[in-house]
Amino acid sequence: MLGEAEEQTKQDSRMVTEVSQTGRGMTSLRTRRRMVKRLREAGISQPEVLAVMEKTPRHLFVDEAFAHRAYEDTALPIGFNQTISQPYIVARMTGLLLQAGPLSDVLEIGTGSGYQTAILAQLVKHVYSLERIKALQDRARQRLHSLRIRNVSLRHSDGGLGWAEQAPYDGILAAAAPAEIPEDLILQLRPGGRMVIPVGGASQQLVLVIRKERGFERQVVEDVNFVPFQSGIA
Ligand code: SAH
């Protein structure tokens, strides 16, 4: 184990590298540590989720004009009227999926910027992610590639149908809110599998669904505010 002083030096040099790589203090490891501290204060406690959020460069998932705000706990525009999810929500949803133990295959609806995809990919075996807007999917693919995240399969399609060829899934996570949970989607969960999805219109709730041997258990987690789940592709 490293001595305390040695560990500090290692951290400092890592920070210097990051700052000089981006040219901005606002995108450094130190800024991410502050974000993680706030997540912890907001009740996120799973160490593996916090560790992955601390090391994932969220500023690379937003337009450069917003990079200096990437570690604020807020959603930010990513174009096409869509937003990158708020860090608290990413942590909360990831935590709910992983709460009962490690997961192998996870389906994500709404790749968007690819940030949530990157977080999940570092915590599960494989992520299958669907996005209905091709241009967003292309950008997400580039970002994941440049971060050398390889255990991800992306597909341009309407997530309401799920991805039947790869089913069943241990976990399903949706980043856009349908009025009702699509039936095709929920049937792609394996028994024991968990789905985290925002549901509603003007008022929305985050819902956790657990597939039992017979039927489903449904828990309302908290009020949320997601972009709408839309059908068809663009
Ligand atoms: N977790 C993403 C959230 C992006 S916003 C991030 O942090 O960047 C939600 C995304 O869901 C948008 O990109 C939107 O285009 C997509 N979306 C909405 N309805 C969809 C559907 N039916 N199928 C696939 N993607 C959908």
DSSP for 96-121, please give it: HHHTTS--SEEEEE--TTSHHHHHHH
The amino acid at 152: V
Sequence spans of domains, the chain:
4-224
Q: What is the pTM of this model?
A: 0.90
Q: Ligand 1: list residues with CB < 6 Å.
A: 78, 82-85, 109-110, 112-113, 115-116, 130-133, 136, 158-160, 175-176, 227, 229-231
CA distance 18 to 12: 10
Residue whose token pair is 């951290």: 11
Do β-strands 189-200 and 169-174 pair in parallel, antiparallel, or remain unpaired?
parallel
Contacts of 100 (CB under 8 A, 6+ apart): 194
Q: Tell me, in angstroms, the distance from the centre of ligand 1 to residue 85's CA.
A: 10
How is the beta sheet containing 204-211 ordered, strand by strand? 152-156, 126-131, 105-109, 169-174, 189-200, 204-211, 216-224
User: Do 195 and 119 meet the contact criterion of CB atoms below 8 Å apart?
Assistant: no
Q: Which residue in the list 13, 20, 28, 85 is annotated as catalytic?
A: 85
Q: Tell me, in angstroms, the distance from the centre of ligand 1 to residue 110's CA.
A: 3
pLDDT tens for 52-83 read 999 999 999 999 999 999 999 999 999 999 99
Higher per-residue pLDDT: 12 or 209: 209
Helix, coil or strand: residue 85 = coil
What does CATH list as the number for 4-224? 3.40.50.150
Write the residue with the smallest CA distance to atom 16 of ligand 1.
Answer: 110
> What proportion of the chain, given as a percentage, has pLDDT over 90?
87
What mean pLDDT comes out for the span 175-180? 98
Residue 85 annotated to the active site: yes
CA neighbor of 59 nearest in space, from 9, 23, 95: 23
Band of residue 28 on the pLDDT scale cut at 50, 70, 90? confident
Looking at the CA of residue 231, tell me the nearest atom of ligand 1. 22
CA distance 164 to 166: 5
Residue 19 has pLDDT above 90, yes or no: no
Looking at the CA of residue 111, tell me the nearest atom of ligand 1. 2
Band of residue 87 on the pLDDT scale cut at 50, 70, 90? very high
Give the per-residue pLDDT at 24.
Answer: 53
Residue whose token pair is 């209905």: 132
